Amino acid sequence: MITATEVQTLEFRIVRQVKTDPPLTFTVEITYDSEDDGYLVKCPELDVVTWGDDWDDAVESLLDGVELVAESLVETHNRSPNLQDPRLRHAQFIVRLGGEEAIRKILGL
């Protein structure tokens, strides 16, 4: 006997370009998985991946993760200026924004 299980997945993607020189692109990918009953959220430009039980929890977790990674990258660069990281320009921009509400707006959340 063969049985099939239906799995529903909801995917949402936001791509925002910031007019800097050169321009910066920020992507947010949100995926709902009914099997795990939660949301996986990613910001690939900063290599941030988080999880939340509901949409709001997932978004808040992403905002916290983006801010934490950005601050950490900038601090590391300040201590070791020769260290290169492709995420640094995105991180410096996020840190200059100065807070969660500004980050939310830039990411389109």
Q: Model confidence over 10-60: pLDDT tens digits?
A: 888 999 999 988 899 999 999 998 888 899 999 999 999 999 999 999 999
Q: Tell me the chain's radius of gyration from C-alpha atoms.
A: 16
**Per-residue confidence (pLDDT) for residue 36, from 0 to 100:** 85
Answer yes or no: is 3 within a domain: no
Report if residue 1 sits inside a domain.
Answer: no
Q: Which residue has the tokens 């290599």?
A: 47
> Is 37 inside any structural domain?
yes
Q: What is the mean pLDDT of the chain?
A: 90
Q: How far is the CA of 22 from the CAs of 2, 18, 47, in angstroms? A: 55, 9, 20
Distances in whole angstroms, Cα of residue 6 to Cα of each of 1, 28, 72, 105: 17, 26, 41, 35
For residue 74, give its domain range. Answer: 9-107
Is residue 35 in some structural domain?
A: yes
CATH of the domain at 29: 3.30.160
- Distance in angstroms (rounded) separating the CA atoms of residues 44 and 65: 12
Does residue 2 form part of some domain?
no
> Distance between CA 9 and CA 107 in Å, rounded?
22
Domains of the chain: total: 1
pTM confidence score: 0.86
86 found inside a domain? yes
Give pLDDT, residue 98.
Answer: 87
- Three-state DSSP at 19 gives coil
